[in-house]
Structure 1
């Protein structure tokens, strides 16, 4: 009987000791870690940036936003390397069109012939324009601008960038009056001559046109 009582006391003691140990562990885990709190507070505080660091950051951002690629030989803007390579690939493809079978309607064959003749000039003009060789682009597009309104439109864009506002009016009138638009491109429309004349009049003091005045 005495042994049983002793055994029961031991069991109760072990249970009490375990409970006391768990409470002590819980109290330690709930106690805030001062080092962790300090670290978190530092993270929440705004970072101090010196005036020089702020100026440098702004300069980098502005340079990234405003920096333009210029062709060193011509002084004209250039597109990205990917855009230039893509334009060149399209120009090379345009020079080697696939042949259409003879049994197709004559109208279809005629349009295909027109496209095969006109598209290389347009594509090489686009390549030269994106490469910053605007003089060569002008030569290519001028070859077909009376037959392809889109090429005429490209010339108008380029002339405006060069401040050649009267030249825009000149080529619009010249190509529109020629009535030579290829059947494959008849859905394309020329720009408004009226609007072009209004802009040329507004910009006459800064006009740098190469052709005769209008």
Structure 2
């Protein structure tokens, strides 16, 4: 089967069925975001005089999914499937460092574009996030990412002549600023969660 290409962008695109699945996933994510069943359920428990059954990590994960990652992640996946890689990249760049799933998705996109140094950069950025916010990740995530980083560095060294990396210094500054704002939100949530549990 021949690879489908988006005629407007020149990037590969998925089948109509795969695109439809991602469109449906985005619709569900948006509906979930608007309805926020986690918070509604917790509110009901409080009204009934029952405690929040979630641990601190789950509460934090729910907040990050609800307010930072959710819709952007679903949009990025849809745009990637549609062959709109520039849009997908812009969305992934706002959230990748909070999830090894999205880090890997962006790494794959960069690898397909022969942007090997960019792939190394985002892996290193996420490694730094894991070190500073270990509670956002599972213990195995660090090992998984370490292995991916080692492989990415080897590939970047071997393919340096054909590397088309293009993340600019300005983009890296904006990325750091965006991450900083999200990290501030996360730290505030961590403090709130800790205070409520104590």
TM-score (norm 2): 0.67
> Which residue matches 1:90?
25
In 1, distance between residues paired with 2:8 and 2:117?
26
In 2, distance between residues paired with 1:181 and 1:74?
37
For the pair 1:142 / 2:54, whether they are aligned, the reply is no
Q: Which has the higher helix share?
A: 2
Question: Deviations for 1:128-186, whole angstroms, at most 9, x for unmatched residues?
Answer: 00000001111111111111111000011010100001111111112211336685653
Q: How does 1:36-185 map to 2 (within 5 A)?
A: 65=1, 67-97=2-32, 98-100=36-38, 101-102=41-42, 103=45, 104-105=52-53, 107=56, 108-117=58-67, 118-179=69-130, 183=135, 185=137
Describe the shift of the 1:152–1:85 C-alpha distance in structure 2 as closer, same or farther (beyond 3 A). same
Structure 1 gap segments, 5+ residues each: 1-64
Structure 2 gap segments, 5+ residues each: 46-51, 170-198
Q: Residue 119 of structure 1: CA displacement? A: 2.3
In 2, distance between residues paired with 1:181 and 1:80?
37
Describe the shift of the 1:182–1:147 C-alpha distance in structure 2 as closer, same or farther (beyond 3 A). farther
- SS of 2:8's equivalent in the other structure is coil
Contact kept? 2:98, 2:136, Cα under 8 Å: no
Describe the shift of the 1:119–1:181 C-alpha distance in structure 2 as closer, same or farther (beyond 3 A). farther
Q: Residue 79 of structure 1: CA displacement? A: 0.5
TM-score (norm 1): 0.62
For the pair 1:194 / 2:150, whether they are aligned, the reply is yes
> Which residue matches 2:167?
211
Q: Residue 111 of structure 1: CA displacement? A: 2.5
Describe the shift of the 1:94–1:133 C-alpha distance in structure 2 as closer, same or farther (beyond 3 A). same
- Give the number of aligned pairs: 148
